[in-house]
Amino acid sequence: MDIQTISQKFCEYSASIRGYSPHTIRRYTTSVSFFSRNTGIAELSQVTDENVRAFFYGGRTERNWSVNTYIVYRKSLLVFFRWCVKQGYMERNPIIDIEIPKREKRIPPKLTKQDALKLLELVYHYPYEYSFLRYRNHAIFSTFIFAGLRKSELLGLKYADVDVDNLTIFIRQGKGNKDRIVPISHTLAQSLKRYIEQRKRLGKTNPEFFSSLRGNIGFTQNGLKKLVEQMREASRLPFTVHKLRHTFATLMLEGGCDIFSLSKMMGHSDIKTTTIYLAASAEHLRAQMTKHPLNDM
């Protein structure tokens, strides 16, 4: 049976029954297509342990995959072939015996406190053509830095999800299809309030919290990409949206936030994921050293 046809059936099942997000579905589709294209496999019956192993070995040696890229392809194909076995299309899953390289332990990249303040200052005072953009863009970057939202979570925010009076943001179906509530500071609330006033002034009624300048529609992924590129160039700070999320986590720890609370705010399924930020926070670690009982000798 044609592997692309089966892949389409798998994705339809994953979306309608498993409830996977469009982003996850795209990852499965891309991974299966890439595997088929690079191995020359068109039919599922052509898949063998040998050509699967050659695919992953070639990825590391010829395409210079990082460990993370390797793991993403392995995980995606593992789930796909597992479903194929369950449906009776294959006898066994050829990914099971594929080894996982040791993941590099790297400190998450982040902005310093001074650079984060510099970025927020620049976003607010940038020479925009329309005042609406000043307040919306400042609210966007403030939400990343003061609440640590993922890009998809920010773009998916609904107007009803943001409660500035009670200082909360409700995240609907974040990563892993989990809802969560993120508390917000008064500083972030002030930025959001200024944006809401501008939104009302322009008569924006779209359900998405962050609106595009033109049209009564939500801010788009492409629009956010262009905004980040614009501010990266203007500030000369090498940041990404995910780096701003890392910045939030690190600054929270340096401010004294406990790891359990931070894990809940970040929406991590496993607290071990949150502990990587402990290594990134030199100030937090330095503060812990002051607790040594012999320091007063």
CATH number of the domain at 51, please: 1.10.150.130
Residue 95 domain-assigned?
A: no
Q: In terms of DSSP H, where are the helices of the chain?
A: 3-16, 22-39, 49-61, 67-86, 113-125, 131-147, 151-155, 186-201, 221-235, 241-254, 259-266, 271-274, 276-280, 282-289
What pLDDT does 284 receive?
A: 60
- Contact predicate 150/163, CB 8 Å: no
Taking phi over 0 as left and psi of -120 to 50 as alpha, with beta for the rest, 257 belongs to beta
Q: Which residues are catalytic?
A: 150, 175, 242, 245, 268, 277
User: Which 3 state secondary structure label does DSSP give 156?
Assistant: coil
119 C-beta neighbours (distance < 10 Å), count: 22
Residue 65 domain-assigned?
A: yes
What pLDDT does 131 receive?
A: 94
**Looking at the structure, do residues 241 and 201 belong to the same domain, yes or no?**
yes
User: CA–CA separation, 54 vs 59, rounded Å?
Assistant: 8
Tens digits of pLDDT across the chain (297 residues): 789 999 999 999 988 888 887 888 899 999 999 999 999 989 988 999 999 999 999 998 889 898 889 999 999 999 999 999 999 999 999 998 888 887 666 666 788 899 999 999 999 999 999 999 999 999 999 999 999 999 999 999 999 999 999 999 998 865 656 788 899 999 999 999 999 999 999 999 999 999 999 989 999 999 999 999 999 999 999 999 999 999 998 888 888 888 888 888 888 877 777 777 766 566 666 666 666 666 665
Sheet with 162-163: strands ordered across: 162-163, 168-174, 178-183
**Looking at the structure, do residues 149 and 210 belong to the same domain, yes or no?**
yes
CA 122 to chain centre: 24
Residue 168 domain-assigned?
A: yes
Domain boundary among 86, 105, 129: 86
What pLDDT does 297 receive?
A: 58
Lookup: tokens for 152: 């998809």
- Of 12, 56, 9, give the one whose Cα is nearest residue 34: 56
Residue 160 domain-assigned?
A: yes
**Looking at the structure, do residues 134 and 249 belong to the same domain, yes or no?**
yes
**Looking at the structure, do residues 149 and 248 belong to the same domain, yes or no?**
yes
**Looking at the structure, do residues 8 and 144 belong to the same domain, yes or no?**
no
Range of the domain at 180: 113-288
Amino acid at 258: D
**Looking at the structure, do residues 133 and 190 belong to the same domain, yes or no?**
yes
Phi then psi dihedrals of residue 40, to 5 deg: 75, 15
**Looking at the structure, do residues 261 and 134 belong to the same domain, yes or no?**
yes
Long-range CB pairs of 125-128 (<8 Å, 24+ gap) are 126/231, 126/234
Q: How many structural domains are present in the chain?
A: 2
**Looking at the structure, do residues 118 and 82 belong to the same domain, yes or no?**
no
Residue 120 domain-assigned?
A: yes
Lookup: tokens for 202: 């322009």
**Residue pointed to by tokens 């789930």:** 79
Lookup: tokens for 273: 């994921």
**Looking at the structure, do residues 127 and 235 belong to the same domain, yes or no?**
yes
Q: What is the DSSP string of 11-28?
A: HHHHHHTS---HHHHHHH
**Looking at the structure, do residues 239 and 163 belong to the same domain, yes or no?**
yes
**Looking at the structure, do residues 148 and 215 belong to the same domain, yes or no?**
yes
User: CA–CA separation, 135 vs 118, rounded Å?
Assistant: 16
User: CA–CA separation, 170 vs 163, rounded Å?
Assistant: 8
CATH (domain of 212): 1.10.443.10
**Looking at the structure, do residues 72 and 122 belong to the same domain, yes or no?**
no
